[in-house]
């Protein structure tokens, strides 16, 4: 009888799971994930191939990956997205949907502007400006979609919404990767015969594909906000807060621009100097923020509620383990991202055509990532998120080493598919577990700000390193680069183990206090 009851419960559970997949919120998150995933490769891989065909050096192409650093600093303006109402739109659509629509329209406009720019004629600087603008508007879309996802349903549906979002995100990457390369190749551009018009219409088509996100934003409902701000909203408060944001960003940009570039020397020395410049610019931005608050330029209560309370909440919940957790967040994807920056250029240098790259690494590869994502979600439910995090870290190092074999067998289609299959399956598994882990760290009282901090930290260091990947390959070759990228992932094993110990301790303390 007990066995029959358990079987009936399992059947109901499976039926409910199938029904949950058809929930309108799940379908909406898949569409919004598509909209969020589309711009990423149009800054990284696809743009890199365009620039290579236009005649730019490999090192210059990978340096342009820094244009996506907006993803790593989105926590700076996340409070604006979280708190600042947009004139007219916020009243018509609500806080989340109005910002979503604004960000999506900005992405479309930027893609069209990039399409109208021929880098072979005007140089790399104009394209870099467009790439930075695309990174900023796309990161803004990520901020609001992440907040929408967390607020759209209770905790029991978060894993399902995250899986749908990741699947849609990868679908957007297929369109921006394989789809864009097929369009460009079909319009006649090749490595030997660069055709600007082909890339122009490719990026116009990508802008049109963003209409999926726009339509979804207009159709979904505004989520119920779970935590109200502690301060009283007023136009004057918003104006002062906006001035604070502009002053902080201005200080950061001015200091960064005024400091001299890296001296001649090794790539390591250049990285060290650029990291120091970044830290000095951040220090100037923080000092400016402090002076604005002391001088009462900005409302102290608003600043505390927006920037200080989310950070204080995290440290109060995790105590001494907070630093270990932040290190894990910052380093978990370093091996994967550093390699990914130069992957498309590597495939091109190995003699594969754009069509082969599109089919193997974009269509097939991203499909394998989606499979890996669902596998990672299922394993996380079965084994626990931290165990799957460790599995993903180990498999990432192992699959990065497979690129050593691919570098020794240029033009081998079977080896290409084998490596792409293993690499993307691992990436999907690790990403699904990591998104679930980040969501578990986020307090519902500070959805937009805390998740923006975590996701920004997740990509900051990897993208800084990734900008030097072309230089490292030029100096040492692909084999040593892939070996180095794999070694970068080894310390993550220890961080996962330590973070798991601290998180279990935090959960025990919380239960004891309860």
DSSP-assigned states of every residue in 448-479? HHHHHHHHHHHHHHHHHHHTTHHHHHHHH-HH
Task: Say how many C-beta atoms besides its own lie within 10 A of residue 234's C-beta.
Answer: 11
DSSP string, 319-364: TTHHHHHHHHHHHTTHHHHHHHHHHHHHHHHTT--HHHHIIIIIII
Judge if pTM exceeds 0.85: no
Of 317, 324, 325, the closest CA to residue 506 belongs to 317
User: 396 and 430 in contact (C-beta within 8 Å)?
Assistant: yes
Q: How far apart are CA 332 and CA 450, in angstroms?
A: 18
* Tokens describing residue 109: 């406009």
What was the pLDDT predicted at 12? 43
Decide: helix, strand or coil at residue 225. Answer: coil
* Tokens describing residue 190: 């090749």
* Tokens describing residue 426: 């691992």
- Mean pLDDT of residues grouped by 10 in the chain (514 residues)? 43 48 77 92 82 76 64 75 82 91 96 91 80 89 88 70 81 86 88 88 96 94 65 65 78 77 63 76 84 80 77 85 88 83 80 80 80 78 82 90 86 87 88 80 75 78 70 78 87 89 55 37
Q: How far apart are CA 100 and CA 88, in angstroms?
A: 14
The H or E element containing residue 407 is helix 385-408
User: 289 and 77 in contact (C-beta within 8 Å)?
Assistant: no
Decide: helix, strand or coil at residue 133. Answer: helix
User: 212 and 31 in contact (C-beta within 8 Å)?
Assistant: yes
User: 489 and 334 in contact (C-beta within 8 Å)?
Assistant: yes
Decide: helix, strand or coil at residue 191. Answer: coil
The region that residue 94 occupies, defined by phi over 0 for left and psi between -120 and 50 for alpha, beta otherwise, is left
Of 247, 253, 243, 258, the closest CA to residue 287 belongs to 247
Please give the DSSP secondary-structure letter assigned to residue 64: G
User: 322 and 311 in contact (C-beta within 8 Å)?
Assistant: no
33-231+299-506 has which CATH code?
Answer: 1.20.1250.20
Q: How far apart are CA 293 and CA 285, in angstroms?
A: 13
Of 95, 79, 101, 104, the closest CA to residue 242 belongs to 79
Cα–Cα distances in angstroms (integers) from residue 305 to residues 18, 302, 408, in the given order: 40, 5, 55
Task: Say how many C-beta atoms besides its own lie within 10 A of residue 451's C-beta.
Answer: 26
Q: How far apart are CA 470 and CA 343, in angstroms?
A: 10
User: 255 and 280 in contact (C-beta within 8 Å)?
Assistant: yes
Please give the DSSP secondary-structure letter assigned to residue 231: S
Domain with CATH 1.20.1250.20 in the chain: 33-231+299-506
* Tokens describing residue 350: 């190995």
What was the pLDDT predicted at 67? 64
What was the pLDDT predicted at 1? 41
Look at the block and give the residue holding tokens 């091996």.
Answer: 335
User: 397 and 335 in contact (C-beta within 8 Å)?
Assistant: yes
């Amino acid at each position: 009888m007990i066995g029959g009851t358990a079987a009936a419960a399992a059947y109901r559970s499976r039926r409910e799971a199938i029904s949950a997949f058809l929930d309108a919120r799940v379908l909406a998150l898949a569409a919004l994930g598509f909209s969020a995933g589309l711009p990423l490769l149009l800054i990284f891989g696809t743009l890199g191939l365009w620039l290579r065909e236009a005649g730019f050096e490999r090192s210059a192409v990978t340096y342009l990956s820094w244009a996506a650093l907006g993803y790593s600093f989105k926590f700076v303006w996340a409070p604006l997205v979280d708190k600042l109402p947009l004139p007219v739109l916020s009243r018509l659509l609500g806080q989340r949907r109005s910002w979503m629509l604004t960000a999506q329209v900005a992405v479309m406009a930027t893609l069209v502007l990039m399409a109208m720019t021929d880098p072979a004629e005007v140089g790399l600087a104009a394209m870099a400006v467009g790439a930075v603008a695309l990174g900023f508007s796309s990161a803004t879309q990520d901020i609001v979609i992440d907040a929408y996802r967390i607020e759209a349903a209770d905790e029991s549906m978060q894993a399902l919404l995250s899986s749908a979002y990741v699947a849609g995100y990868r679908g957007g990457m297929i369109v921006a990767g394989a789809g864009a390369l097929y369009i460009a190749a079909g319009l006649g551009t090749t490595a030997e015969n660069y055709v600007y018009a082909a890339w122009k219409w490719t990026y116009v088509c990508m802008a049109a594909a963003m209409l999926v996100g726009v339509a979804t934003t207009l159709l979904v409902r505004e989520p119920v906000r779970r935590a109200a701000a502690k301060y009283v909203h007023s136009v004057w408060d918003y104006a002062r807060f906006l001035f604070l944001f502009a002053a902080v960003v201005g200080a950061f940009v001015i200091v960064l621009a005024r400091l001299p570039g890296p001296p001649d020397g090794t790539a390591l020395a250049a990285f060290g100097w650029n990291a120091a410049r970044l830290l000095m610019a951040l220090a100037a931005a923080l000092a400016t923020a402090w002076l604005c608050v002391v001088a009462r330029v900005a409302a102290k209560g608003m600043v505390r509620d927006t920037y200080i309370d989310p950070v204080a909440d995290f440290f109060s919940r995790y105590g001494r383990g907070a630093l270990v957790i932040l290190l894990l967040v910052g380093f978990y994807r370093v091996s994967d991202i550093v390699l990914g920056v130069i992957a498309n250029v590597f495939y091109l240098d190995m003699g594969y055509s754009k069509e082969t790259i599109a089919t193997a690494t974009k269509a097939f590869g991203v499909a394998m990532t989606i499979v890996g994502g669902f596998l990672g979600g299922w394993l996380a439910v079965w084994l626990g998120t931290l165990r799957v995090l460790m599995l993903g870290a180990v498999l990432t190092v192992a699959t990065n080493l497979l690129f050593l074999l691919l570098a020794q067998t240029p033009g081998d289609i079977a080896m290409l598919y084998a490596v792409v299959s293993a690499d993307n399956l691992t990436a999907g598994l690790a990403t699904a577990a990591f998104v679930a882990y980040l969501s578990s760290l986020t307090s519902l009282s500070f959805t937009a700000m805390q998740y923006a901090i975590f996701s920004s930290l997740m990509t900051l260091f990897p993208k800084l390193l990734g900008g030097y990947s072309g230089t490292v390959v030029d100096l040492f070759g692909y084999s040593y680069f892939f070996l180095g990228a794999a070694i970068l992932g080894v310390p993550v094993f220890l961080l996962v183990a330590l973070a798991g110990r601290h998180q279990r301790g935090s959960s025990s303390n919380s239960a004891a206090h309860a």
